[in-house]
Amino acid sequence: MAANRAEQALVEQWRDILALHARTQCELDRTLHGHGLCASDFEVLDLLAECAAADGSCAYRVQEISERVHLSQSALSRLIGRLEKDGLVERAMCPDDRRGVRVVLTAKGRALHGEVRPMQRAVLARMLADAD
């Protein structure tokens, strides 16, 4: 009986996490939509901006981005294609591995990231505060 209650509590906690994630994702999408972005687009820009902040001109391999933003390689490739078409990122061959592709934030991408970052952070703060 106690094991059933503990298991049910675990399942309910998991479902609460999933619901919070879904609500937050939807709110991020609504907030960023006016800037031509969705939450996943922003995550890629944010990752590249954090990297660039560390050394000024950092690039990630597509596989490295995929591991950090939790998208499949094909979904990420399509997303990067859209960001590249919009002039927010650039792709280039890896100098040390000709099969690899590196992605770097453009000046336009850096500017857009700087503009929407406070909005994204405000949504996170509000949604996660509501979860407490």
Which of these, 121, 124, 113, lies nearest to 36 by C-alpha position?
Answer: 113
The C-alpha angle with vertex 14 and arms to 10 and 19, in degrees rounded to 5, equals: 145
**pLDDT on residue 57:** 59
Q: List pLDDT tens digits, range 60-117.
A: 888 889 889 988 888 999 999 999 999 999 988 766 666 678 899 999 999 999 999 9
Q: What is the pTM of this model?
A: 0.85
Residue 118 in contact with residue 111, Cβ under 8 Å?
A: no
